[in-house]
Amino acid sequence: MKKIERVLFIMEHLEQLYPDTPIPLNHNNIYELLIAVLLSAQCTDERVNKVTPKLFKLANTPQDMQKLKTKNIYDIVRPCGLAPKKSLAISNLSKILVEKYNSKVPQNFQDLESLPGVGHKTASVVMSQGFGHPAFPVDTHIHRLAQRWGLTKGQNVSQTERDLKSIFPERLWNKLHLQIIFYGREFCTARGCNGMVCEICRTCFPKRKKPKRVKK
Rounded to whole angstroms, the Cα distance separating 154 from 83 reads 30
Q: Which of 69, 72, 24 is nearest to 50 (CA)?
A: 24
Output phi, psi for 112, to 5 deg. -60, -45
CA geometry: angle at 89 spanning 136 and 185, to 5°? 40
Which residues are known to be catalytic? Answer: 121, 139
